[in-house]
Each structure stands twice: as C-alpha cells, then as structure tokens.
Structure 1
Amino acid sequence: MTASPLLLLRLLGLMLTFGLLGAVPAQAETDAQYRLASGDVIRISVFGEKELSIDEIRLTDAGTFSYPFIGEVRANGRTARELEQLLTAQLKGDYLVDPRVTVSILKYREFFISGEVKSPGGYPYQPGLTLRRAVALAGGLTERASTNRISIIRDKDPSRRPQKATLDTELEPGDTITIEQGFF
C-alpha cells in the first residue's frame, strides 16, 4: 500500500509545523563543534560492553572523569568525537579487539546571568539560545534595566574580558552575562 501524495504533503506539513525536520542536524552540528568543559554531562556507550557503558557522567571542575580500566580521562577542550577516538585508542588492544565507542552530550554546562534581571543565577544552556531568551528564562528585565549596557564574558575567552552584547547575541555554555542599570 502506498501513501497518496496529498497524505505525504500533510505529513510533511505537520513535521515542519512541529519542528521535526531540521532540528536534528542543527543539534548534531552544535555537538560536533562543541568543546567539553567542567559541568557538562555526557553518556559513554561501548557497543556490546555494558560494564564499560556509563549512562551519565558530570565532568569535574578540571574537566575530567574517571573511567574503568583507563583511570582519569581529560575531556576538557575536546569534542565528543575526539573523546570517542581517545577512549577507543585507550581500550583497543589491551582490553578490547575492536571497541565501538559513542559519546553523547546529555546536558550542557550552565550560563550565568546577573544584574538587572528578576531572577539572576545559572540556567541550563540550550543550543541556539539568544540573550533575549536567556533574559526570559531569568524572569525578564527589571524596570531599571538597560538594553544598551549589556556585557558578556565568554567562558572560552582566556582574557575573561567583557564584550558588548545585544539581546540578539547568541550565547554559549559557560557565558556570564551582566545587564547594567539604565540612566533615566
């Protein structure tokens, strides 16, 4: 039984409406470029080796985790793919003949927002997050907030120098945002 073209068009429309198309590749692209650091939560799966598969690991303050047979593993600054390659190389030979390792990012590290927002603090990062959405997560701006005096410190920036930001600026995990008071 084949589906009619009209039924296929309706199905495609529903998928587009609910965002079922396009979301996975964007997430996969983000994960491919994403560099792991302290606070990220990952899953490690080794095909056919239940005792080497770990459902949830939070990286330590140093960006490391402990792994069976290997010991302390440094994940900080690596992508999930690079970590897969490292674990595969470490397990191959001594422990397994042909290990198939998969690393997935379960939770990204938090971003932090302070200053003139109603609920300052740390919030979970989500791919595609803009400063406007981050402000909404923090309960919105206070009456005294300035939309022109916003600074951001990127976690990946070793100088830790504040940069000017707008409400349309895209955030990254670990960012620290400060929203200053406006002068009236």
Structure 2
Amino acid sequence: MKTVVVSLLLALLVSANSFAQSSQLNQYTLGSGDLLKILVYGQEDLTLETRLTDIGVINYPYLGEVKIIGMTVGELENYIYEGLKGDYLVDPSVSVSIVEYRPFFVNGEVKNPGGYAFQPGLNIDKAAALAGGYTERASKTKVYIDRTVDGESVRIQADRYTPILPGDIITIEQSFF
C-alpha cells in the first residue's frame, strides 16, 4: 500500500513539473536567437523562416517591419492573421512555430561552460550534463538562474531539478567541501 501511494505521489510530482514547464513554454516570449517558421496555408510567398536578431524586427510581406520580440507565438499568429485578413486574404490560416529556441548558458563549476541549444524538458542536472557534467568542486545547493521576466532580469535560487528556459544563464557555484 505504501509503495502504491509513494508511486502515485511521484507520478503526480513528475507530471506537475512537466505541466509547469509546458505552461511556461506556451507563454514563452520570442527573443533574439529564436529561429521561427511562419506559414500561411496555400500562400507559398508568405512562408518565411528567420532567426531573430537583437532588434527583433522582421520584414514580413504585405505587413512591412514587424517588431516581434516579447510576443508569444499565439500573439504573432494573431497579428499576422489580422494584418492579412480582408485586404489580402479572406480567412488566412496562419501557423507560427519555433524551429530552434535561443540558447541557454551554463557557467561556473561545470567541465565545459558555454552556450547550448535549448530543448524542452531540460532542468539544471540535464543542462550540467550537456556542459560535460559537474566538476568535483560543484555545489549542488548554490545554483542560480538569471532569467528575464517581463523585461526585467531576475536571479532565481534553483536546485538540480529546476526547469530551465531558453535564454537562461545558469551559474553553479563552488562548494566549500
């Protein structure tokens, strides 16, 4: 009986963690370094694949320059839909997808600090593994994430299982022992 309860609690914890990250990615705001693909069904000339630069502006057919940094995928789809509807198309079917997320960065007590391609489902431990693993002096409790939230940079105290997002800067401090 105890084993079943523990297993159920563990399963709930894992699914809550993946739901939280999925929810974070649904509200993910586009930023420099993201590679996007924009499709309008049946309109090949409106298909665009582009990597966002630091200024975050794309030149989209019929709409001109569009500043998309800070938008979610849904907001960008709606913006393009509204811009094309009426004058250009009756009811455009717009799809925006992220082909490649912007990188995240790991520094401190890992064997190969640097920038790495983001993949959904990453946490601190997995990010450290991508960076060659923890060094012998790495602290498992002094881990920080520098993240931009609503245009402001914040520092988050993290643990080894904290989910990460594209653009995060992870710092793993030294342990005293």
CA RMSD for the aligned pairs?
A: 2.1
Contact 1:31/1:105 (8 A) holds in 2 = no
The structure having more radius of gyration, on CA atoms, is 1
Counterpart of 2:76 (choices 83, 89, 96) is 83
Contact 1:30/1:127 (8 A) holds in 2 = no
Report the alpha carbon displacement of residue 31 of structure 1 after superposing the two structures with TM: 4.8
2-structure distance, mates of 1:164, 1:174:
16
Report whether the alignment pairs 1:124 with 2:117.
Answer: yes
Task: List gaps (5 residues or longer) in structure 2.
Answer: 1-18
TM-score (norm 1): 0.78
2-structure distance, mates of 1:157, 1:45:
28
Report whether the alignment pairs 1:46 with 2:40.
Answer: yes
Q: Which residue of 2 aligns with 1:162?
A: 155
2-structure distance, mates of 1:70, 1:150:
44
TM-score (norm 2): 0.81
- 5 Å-filtered alignment, 1:10-159, equals 31-54=25-48, 56-156=49-149, 158-159=151-152
2-structure distance, mates of 1:129, 1:165:
13
Task: List gaps (5 residues or longer) in structure 1.
Answer: 1-24
How many residue pairs end up in the alignment? 159
2-structure distance, mates of 1:97, 1:104:
22
2-structure distance, mates of 1:117, 1:27:
24
Residues 82-107 of structure 1, C-alpha deviation per residue, up to 9 Å, x if partnerless?
A: 11110011112222222211111111
2-structure distance, mates of 1:157, 1:99:
30
